[in-house]
Amino acid sequence: MRPKIVLFFIGIIMTICSCRSDFETLASTGDLEFSKDTIYLDTVFSNIGSSTYRLKVYNKSKNDITIPSIKLGKGLSSKYRISVDGMQGIEGKIFNNVDLLAKDSLYIFIETTANSTDANASDFLYTDQIQFDSGENLQNVELVTLIQDAVFLYQQRFADGTTETLPIGNEKIDGFYLDENDPVNGNELQFTNDKPYVIYGYAAVPSNKTATFEAGTRVHFHANSGLIVANNASVNINGTRSTTDKLENEVIFEGDRLEPDFSDVPGQWGTIWLTDGSTNNTLNHLTIKNATIGLLIQNNDGTTVSVKNTQIYNSSNYGILAQTAKINGENVVINNAGLASLACTYGGNYTFTHSTFNNNWNSSQQVAVLVSNYILGEIPEAKDLTAATFNNCIIYGSYSNEMSLTKKTGAAFEYQFNNCLIKFDNISNQFTTNPDYQFNTDTAHYNAILLNKDPKFFNISQNKFNIDETSAAFAKGNSAYLIPLDIIEKTRTLPPDLGAYQNKAFPK
């Protein structure tokens, strides 16, 4: 008997389910509700597709309804595309007789690909509507997108289907040489602030040429893209102080995803690579965001890379990775890197003054500053570190020890920290007898060190590393190493504060 009862109920359920698609509906009376009345699709570049945005449509009535029409206001000519509960409709623009159950909802997904010429000439906004027509009451949800024109730089594609590559050592990578006589873009070695640039692949500066970036230039790198400077080539980044929150005079390198959700995502693009043979490189008022390695500097020809008033944030591996390089850094700020904010490795010669190195990456393996004279597996494994000098600097972060010194014998290992605030907690006395970390007694390597004192940065999560009079770094600098102006060109007083910011100097 029991099996018959079970079969009976199964039959009823199957009957109900098989008839579900034939439910009777009433025509919509225009009483739909929406999760938003306006969808703002964040800024996109010309002819580059946007992210997908979502709208939820509610039927809060007690009746199953049919919406006679859901369509884009500009019809088939609209630059928007929508899907309604997975349906594509007519070219993603028009949908007829869409059913919606009582007390239920449906999803509409929205995308756009538009050109700046499609937008309003006055404000570069491209707009449309999703129209819900009940026959009695027309309901609209507004769509708004800012279309930004840009200069696109990318590798050539040849007739045989292959693309342009660059020789790097014994390997080739996807990339191209910047052309000072490009028939479309003109001089690609002169980056201006007229339009942003979008780079696909690695853009290389040709031998004996210089790439110049004027104040206010914006460069957006696609995934696995970057800039390479080698073979007697140079890069000059000529940013200047900005006076507003728009950072109008800063040169900014970042990814090509403009949505707010990507504003702090590390590893969106590759690196700025100053490699073998590059020469006379100068970087001033540069901000680098969300790279894999912010700056990769290798084997300079003996000339010093000048890095001034430069900020590097959210690098998935390193903020600066230097290998057998020569760098002079002033007013440098680096925050958040998966391995090290600053790594001076495989020897070299490095001086950083009035700089702030912080690392709040969520890992116990990260450090703010790493200094070494070797790379395992290289031939030779160790090279001379002739200088690693830090003056009036802050080395801090979320981990107990934010500085690491590692060396191999057989090569020089010269370092010195003068008037620096360093976070280094000798947990369980594991470094008590290590000769490289004798902060209080080794005057040949350490002078006037503030150990494990809180700099009281204004807001680390917003990359605001200014301090005030309550900071342990306040007025603890040595005037012998004074850089007269801080990173935003506020005059330093005497004795100066440690780090890149003079007290109460708020980042723009």
Domain annotation covers residue 496? no
**Residue 245: pLDDT band by 50, 70, 90 thresholds?**
confident
**pLDDT higher than threshold 60 for residue 285:** yes
Q: Is 500 in a helix, a strand, or coil?
A: coil
CA–CA separation, 311 vs 252, rounded Å? 9
Strands 94-100 and 151-153: unpaired
Residues in CB range of 256: below 8 A, 6 or more apart: 45, 48, 198, 220, 221, 222, 268, 269
Based on the structure, what is the number of domains in the chain? Answer: 2
Give yes or no: residues 31 and 165 share one domain.
no
Give yes or no: residues 182 and 112 share one domain.
no
Give yes or no: residues 371 and 273 share one domain.
yes
Give yes or no: residues 132 and 240 share one domain.
no
**pLDDT higher than threshold 60 for residue 21:** no
Domain annotation covers residue 132? yes
Give yes or no: residues 376 and 400 share one domain.
yes
Domain annotation covers residue 242? yes
- Residue at a domain's end among 119, 148, 177: 148
Give yes or no: residues 423 and 286 share one domain.
yes
Q: What is the pLDDT of residues 147-162, one digit of tens each?
A: 999 999 998 888 887 8
Give yes or no: residues 413 and 291 share one domain.
yes
Give, as one character, the DSSP assignment of residue 227.
E
Domain annotation covers residue 405? yes
User: Can you give the pTM of this predicted structure?
Assistant: 0.88
The enclosing domain of 70 has a CATH number of 2.60.40.10
- Residue at a domain's end among 88, 122, 148: 148
Domain annotation covers residue 419? yes
**Residue 303: pLDDT band by 50, 70, 90 thresholds?**
confident
Domain annotation covers residue 14? no
Nearest to 74 by CA among 36, 130, 118, 146: 130
CA–CA separation, 479 vs 177, rounded Å? 45
Q: What is the pLDDT of residues 462-478, one digit of tens each?
A: 999 999 999 999 999 99
Residue 301 vs residue 67, higher pLDDT: 67
Residue 171 vs residue 309, higher pLDDT: 309
In the block, residue with structure tokens 């800039």? 227
Give the pLDDT mean for 85-101: 95
CB 114 within 8 A of CB 44: yes
Q: How many CB atoms lie within 10 A of CB 150?
A: 20
Structure tokens at 205: 């500066």
Give, as one character, the DSSP assignment of residue 18.
H
Give yes or no: residues 163 and 72 share one domain.
no
Give yes or no: residues 230 and 343 share one domain.
yes
CA–CA separation, 179 vs 135, rounded Å? 58
> Would you state the pLDDT for residue 301?
66
Give yes or no: residues 121 and 205 share one domain.
no
> Would you state the pLDDT for residue 199?
96
Tally the C-alpha atoms within 13 A of residue 219's C-alpha that lie toward its C-beta: 36
Give yes or no: residues 105 and 179 share one domain.
no
Q: Domain range spanning residue 211? A: 151-481
- Residue at a domain's end among 148, 183, 212: 148
CA–CA separation, 353 vs 84, rounded Å? 58
Q: What is the pLDDT of residues 359-387, one digit of tens each?
A: 999 887 899 999 999 999 999 999 999 99
Q: Please report the DSSP string for 149-176 in residue order.
A: --EEE---B-TTS-B-EEEETTEEEEEE
CA–CA separation, 316 vs 337, rounded Å? 5
Domain annotation covers residue 499? no
Give yes or no: residues 340 and 196 share one domain.
yes
Domain annotation covers residue 366? yes
